[in-house]
Structure 1
Amino acid sequence: MTIVTHTFNPSVDITYTVPDFHVGDVHRPTETIKNPGGKGINVSKVLAQLGADLHAYAYLGGANGRWIADQLECLDIPVSAVMIEDETRQCLAINDGQHQTEVLEKGPVISQAAQASYIEQLKAHAHPEVMTISGSSPQFEGATALEHLREVLSTAQAHYTILDTRADDLKAALDSGLPIHCIKPNEDEFAQLVGEHPDTDKNFYQHMKTHTLLKGIDVFLTLGARGAIIKLDNHIYRATVPTIEAINAVGSGDSTVAGIAYGRTHFKQQPEQLIRHALACGMSNALQKETGKINIAQVENFATQIQVEMV
């Protein structure tokens, strides 16, 4: 198996379009979009659209979990789903055309038996070329999120692992010396990792080169409309992107992660092309109403417009 994805805390993502949204008022959405979600699910959806050889792993429970499993089957995404007792969460987004307000449920408790089943099933796809672990963690019975992550990494023995999670969990994983090969923080997450908010590109470069937590790992720092700063194989790159009018930015980071994973299997010896393609995936997602959705023609077009230079 070339790429394995993990979603420990999937969700049913519901987006309401509510023009002139005001807190405290009664609103009726002009549009409702329901998607199988969670960051790793979004990664899987984009990888499938790219034509990647992948297998997805997730904890799923209740009616929401069954609905996600059915949707993934419709998308021809192979998935090993460990069914749990609690209901898979829902995440709500309210988009008023200018801003997006999100309400994210915490997620279920994963029993020790479900954890053991997950690890046992993972053995069937050990040693993948690339593995992605994305999103928050639910509560694990008898284990911390870090202990569960360590068990997954130890079982999978991936050649290249991309971890995309919130800053405190990311820092804990890096502090523990777990075999993480790549991270994709945004600007705020990067600041939490290094303990300060760099105010110039040169400061970002310096942290990537010298900070203890980032030693020996690839860093794909996304800066929104300002592009990205990337460390690949200890080389630093600055990427600038064309201006777009985003429709829905949710899932763009996950689409970029999918692009990185895909790039490791297709552009490994072409770092500039890997960067352009990964960022183009994120940009295309921002122009779709659905999360984890890209347009291949857009990706190819954006990739020709993104400028990448080694610094």
Structure 2
Amino acid sequence: MIYTVTLNPSIDYVIKLDTLMTGSVNRVSEEHVYPGGKGINVSNVLNELGHKSIALGFISGFTGQYIVDTLKEKGLESDFIKVKDGFTRINVKMKSEEETEVNGKGPKISETELRLLFDKIDNLNSDDILVLAGSIPSALDERLYESIMAKIKDKNIKVIVDATKNLLLNVLKYEPFLIKPNNHELEEMFNVKLTSNEDTVKYAYKLREMGAKNVLVSMGKDGALLITESNEVFLSNVPKGIVKNSVGAGDSMVAGFTAGYLNTNNYEDALKLGAASGSATAFSNDLATKDYIDSLLNEIKVEKLENILS
């Protein structure tokens, strides 16, 4: 089974306005409500691609129940821990001349509630995949991902981590199966400017040397680059389309890669489905559908880069 972890899920209230005027009443021209959070996004796209998962994390209050109910309507299974103090956050994303976001705080999570999450993860075995995605709430220890991986390090569980800077760097010693930084996060980790594919390969390989088995780097309009556990390097292109929504594109790539790997046990196929899934979400108003992902697959070309690590 695939388990996704979203520590600080949200209801994303996305609104469009002709003009945003502070200090006065604004009228919304378009509005959408989605259950948000990187792990939840991964579960949604995995479901589209025919792979079941169980969404883990913390919810609270009426907003948390909305997330559970919405996922259930979509046929997604969840096993969230209900938190007593506070309520699941609401993130308001306003789109007018510029994009403005106001993100909620989220509930306070007690040590007892945190232990319940560790208990659930402790039940996983070597047949399972664990996806740790997104930020860690400020109320929790920033080394939480590291603590989770330390707890299961001897269980041979495939762990996928999609997080930023230190959250990602701290887990490398536990040899995650896959990490997925984007090119900007890679620059931030090593305080460099990437100007070529060779640069990206160089610093992605450093993450391999630090412990990650497979490193997948999303590069926006320049495609995606994968360094595998056997040090093969693959580069995918991006299909033609108009970017409508960057939120969830990276999560969709993680879901597509995971599904592709499970389908064929082949990294090249995994990269191809991951690239198609990420692009399908970027070209949509919401997360990608299977039909749209399938329609883009033929446009994805994966090239093996020879001798680039030598």
Q: TM-score, normalised by structure 2?
A: 0.89
2:293 to 294, 299, 302: 299
Count of aligned pairs: 302
Residue number in structure 1 paired with 2:270: 274
Residue number in structure 1 paired with 2:58: 59
Residue number in structure 2 paired with 1:283: 279
Q: Do structure 1's residue 104 and structure 2's residue 103 form an aligned pair?
A: yes
**Distance in 2 (alpha carbons) for counterparts of 1:281 and 1:153:** 31
Deviation >6 Å, runs of 4+ = none
Following superposition of structure 1 onto structure 2, how do residues 80-95 of structure 1 map, counting pairs within 5 Å?
Answer: 80-85=79-84, 86-95=86-95
CA contact (8 A) 1:136 1:165 kept: yes
**Distance in 1 (alpha carbons) for counterparts of 2:275 and 2:202:** 22
Residue number in structure 1 paired with 2:170: 172
**Distance in 1 (alpha carbons) for counterparts of 2:29 and 2:101:** 17
The secondary structure found in structure 1 opposite 2:80 is: strand
Decide which moves more: 295-304 or 18-27: 18-27
Residues 222-279 of structure 1 show CA distances to partners (whole Å, capped at 9, x for unaligned) of 111111121122211111112311222211111111112212211322x222111111
Code of the residue aligned with 1:54 in structure 2: it is S
User: Measured at CA, do residues 25 and 167 of structure 1 come closer, stay the same or move farther in structure 2, by a change above 3 Å?
Assistant: farther
Report percent identity of matched pairs. Answer: 25
Structure 1: segments with no counterpart, 5+ residues? none
User: Measured at CA, do residues 164 and 30 of structure 1 come closer, stay the same or move farther in structure 2, by a change above 3 Å?
Assistant: same
Task: Give the drift of 1:149.
Answer: 4.2
CA contact (8 A) 2:257 2:272 kept: no
Residue number in structure 2 paired with 1:203: 199
**Distance in 1 (alpha carbons) for counterparts of 2:223 and 2:82:** 39
CA contact (8 A) 1:119 1:152 kept: no
User: Measured at CA, do residues 55 and 128 of structure 1 come closer, stay the same or move farther in structure 2, by a change above 3 Å?
Assistant: farther
RMSD: 2.2
The secondary structure found in structure 2 opposite 1:138 is: coil
Q: TM-score, normalised by structure 1?
A: 0.89
**Distance in 2 (alpha carbons) for counterparts of 1:43 and 1:110:** 23
Following superposition of structure 1 onto structure 2, how do residues 165-244 of structure 1 map, counting pairs within 5 Å?
Answer: 165-174=163-172, 177-210=173-206, 214-233=210-229, 234-244=231-241
